[in-house]
Structure 1
């Protein structure tokens, strides 16, 4: 049990402690999306491909997940004040180094260090926030705030990044993040004294070997999911090597956890069928959430919306997420049946998917996409806090911490899996539609001939020779076919996913055990 009465300076009022804790937890949450917020710019700055940016982001997230399994030991070894000061100083050093790195290898190393650092303060800060909201609804309030910020962070970061790049250079974005860390450092020094949270535990008991094995299998698995399609899967030696490493190290990790006296992850937590159901819902949710990247790609590639304009539009989605989190918190406090919250979220996601299916066309205005774009955020915000609390409900009290770790690990794999499935589906469908449409570009097709003649005449009128005009006409027609193939593929993806979400919504409504499980958790935590 955390003893918080003595770790804060006694002369500080309660509201100041709450505000300080909230401010100090925000940077770590926002930094997770700092580099991925403008992946195209960052990729061009480093001279890498967009897939490389996704890989580095996944590495950061994977290292963060692995570090979550050991961060409690670090928090118990150091006094809270020194622990948090050290984290802030390390973050400042890594951010400063990131501002001057142009080498991909060094960038990857720094991103993994980022993931390690960002995982360290989370557990301590959330537990401290729980103690500042002692009511029976304190956990709902803290979780709702935490996930509201997490879901809205892409919009916040994108807006700040867009403004920074419009006014200054990319490095000023890093300098701004360093400034926020310095302010957080000052607040930590002001809030905390040198007393400890709990009894000191030695670090030699930490299973560092298990941690290294876990990081290795996360890296290998992420590499396969991100680069598999581009490298033609098993035809590439590095993909075969990645799969081999993943299988071997997964076996080693499972064996080690089953035989260790102090496992990083207690596999007994997965014996609960309801917990596995909750994790499955997270995977489906994140696959649906990955479609947002398809929307953003369409906005940039087809509708040609500028980065700053796109950053402003993302506030619509963020508003939906915030609304969903607030509604979910209100419903939980009012004891609303949790399975209906899940069903409503999946139903809203299905509406967004099917609605957006009809928006994949060459010209679209903001008024047409605003409501379905808002509904996507509403769906995710509505389910996040209830689903986390549902997963925690499955764990016995002595395994509760492993319930949260299972949820976080599932979100990591679901993020990578969602990217892999959507990306591969896009490539396959776009290629299929391109081949199908290209077959119609023949000399016997009057519409194709008319289009080519019109384009050729347009280029000739601009001063090109007939030969050059013909080549340019073919290139422009080919670009048009590729765009149409891209849009048709997106339409298929959104249609099938809408059907999947409707099916899961029905299954949720027919399930009789979801509400019973949540009632058990509600009685344990809220006492009613």
Structure 2
């Protein structure tokens, strides 16, 4: 029997698409919106710096655990019911997070919220993909990807505005009205495919669930906390690295040998999906990595607020919004996706290199404007083709499975990117500091004159000679640290750009060109 078509037309498709995009946007915004409220939460809940960081870690852990299982869970409960339940869980936990009375209540509710949120991201992509006809899926992916790109950028300025004008619980409360509307629209309009059949309890892959949870959560914890715990100097990190390796190795063996796997690894036999998953990981690493560095640079070295740092990236995001439908039309007209991806990677290298050249202790927002517009241009050329190519040759349940792999690898790429960049910045700052200090000889006449000039200025403010001289040396040491940190941020942009440039020949060689051209007149029906 032929599978039921899930393609929608007219107002139904518009409503379903808007509902799915807003749900994906809610999930992604919540990964970054809390960052700017951590200090307020910490003071209000009486938490330590290490405890408050679990508000972010718990959400990320829940995300990476649930994302690979979304296709199976959708099959068990029906896509509509599972998606609606995920929205309800996310919405209720948003209310509970805002009403938490202590830090560990907040961490628990954030974890459960992350379980609901992870499902929203992947299932939204599957719903949008199957609601649009095959020949228009490039446009469908453009709409979905826009939410993925916009979310991380909107989080900090929105969170900063809410914290400055209201209080931190409202960063969670704003999810509630959207969640209620999304639940009602889901139950009314989203359909479950006929190929999804519930398995009896005896066929549920409990070992697979357990091994996946141990492997992925251990890996995510290592990536989140590795730099904070000084990596392999920590016994806990070593133990969790072993747990991650064994858990994932045994999980792969289990899924390839079990008749009813919770995650169908065999779908990766599809060449387009394989390349798409790899590129999703690289994009996650580069995108989240560079997005992570800019706020660090502007806030720690330039003294900007989180809201100012977030607003800096808003024009770039708006430009991506303009690029998305343009790129989708180019794909529909038959422009090979691998050429769009290759050009996007070259442009991302140009953005990274230009960022490397403009970083100074006094760089202004105007210096960043056109460079971030270039980044938006590159992301537009990268995001839609990668997302479309990954799912282009998948059918039926494979679409949900492929979307889960892409979503998981994009998120893990982001986690790897933040972990690697945090470690790199920390280590590279020490390297640059050592180099700078080696050129500062206290007996050098220029150094002595600089210290004497600074000390003289402070003596005019009433400080005695010894105190003013000690303060001058402390200020000089602070200037060295600032310059060393700046140089390490410059290195990050340079190496991220080089990584994208190296991937260009890989894309051109290994992605097969499709000769199919879409008839736009037919696609409009």
Taking a change above 3 Å as real, the CA distance of residues 127 and 439 of structure 1, as seen in their structure-2 partners, is: closer
Aligned-residue offset at 1:399: 4.5
Aligned-residue offset at 1:38: 4.5
Q: Which moved more, 1:468-477 or 1:100-109?
A: 100-109
Equivalent position SS for 2:259: coil
Taking a change above 3 Å as real, the CA distance of residues 230 and 161 of structure 1, as seen in their structure-2 partners, is: closer
2:451 aligns with 452
Q: Which moved more, 1:306-315 or 1:360-369?
A: 306-315
Taking a change above 3 Å as real, the CA distance of residues 38 and 477 of structure 1, as seen in their structure-2 partners, is: farther
Give CA deviations for 1:477-528 in whole Å, capped at 9, x if unaligned: 111111100111122222233333223224434x2x5243x448989xx99x
Equivalent position SS for 1:300: helix
CA distance in 2, matches of 1:402, 1:128: 12
Q: How does 1:61-460 map to 2 (within 5 A)?
A: 61-76=63-78, 80=80, 83=82, 85-101=84-100, 103-121=102-120, 126=125, 128-130=127-129, 132-134=131-133, 136-188=134-186, 191-192=188-189, 198=194, 201-202=198-199, 204=201, 205-271=203-269, 275-289=273-287, 290-393=289-392, 399-460=398-459
Which sections of structure 2, spanning at least 5 residues, go unmatched? 43-47
Q: How does 1:14-25 map to 2 (within 5 A)?
A: 14-15=10-11, 18-19=14-15, 21-23=17-19, 25=21
CA distance in 2, matches of 1:438, 1:484: 11
Equivalent position SS for 2:295: helix
Q: Which moved more, 1:271-280 or 1:325-334?
A: 271-280
CA distance in 2, matches of 1:169, 1:373: 31
Equivalent residues of 1:228, 1:239 under 8 A apart: yes
Aligned-residue offset at 1:246: 0.9
Equivalent residues of 1:39, 1:53 under 8 A apart: no
2:27 aligns with 31
CA distance in 1, matches of 2:66, 2:320: 23
CA distance in 2, matches of 1:389, 1:226: 30
Equivalent position SS for 2:382: helix
1:58 aligns with 60
Aligned-residue offset at 1:439: 2.7
Aligned-residue offset at 1:315: 1.0
Equivalent residues of 2:128, 2:140 under 8 A apart: yes
Give CA deviations for 1:303-346 in whole Å, capped at 9, x if unaligned: 12223322322212212322332232121111101121011111
Aligned-residue offset at 1:264: 2.1
Equivalent position SS for 1:34: helix
CA distance in 2, matches of 1:406, 1:236: 31
Matched, 1:487 2:483: no
Equivalent residues of 1:320, 1:375 under 8 A apart: no
Equivalent residues of 1:71, 1:119 under 8 A apart: no
Equivalent residues of 1:322, 1:378 under 8 A apart: no
Equivalent residues of 2:432, 2:488 under 8 A apart: yes
Aligned-residue offset at 1:367: 1.6
Aligned-residue offset at 1:164: 1.4
CA distance in 2, matches of 1:417, 1:502: 19
Equivalent residues of 1:393, 1:520 under 8 A apart: no
Aligned-residue offset at 1:52: 4.7
CA distance in 1, matches of 2:427, 2:276: 30
Equivalent residues of 1:151, 1:381 under 8 A apart: no
CA distance in 1, matches of 2:102, 2:515: 52
CA distance in 2, matches of 1:181, 1:235: 43
CA distance in 1, matches of 2:237, 2:243: 10
CA RMSD of the aligned region, Å?
Answer: 3.2
Equivalent position SS for 1:262: coil
Which sections of structure 1, spanning at least 5 residues, go unmatched? none
2:502 aligns with 503
Which TM-score applies when normalising by structure 1? Answer: 0.86
Give CA deviations for 1:259-290 in whole Å, capped at 9, x if unaligned: 21111223334456665444333333333221
CA distance in 2, matches of 1:454, 1:156: 45
Equivalent position SS for 1:443: coil
2:45 aligns with none
Equivalent residues of 1:224, 1:242 under 8 A apart: yes
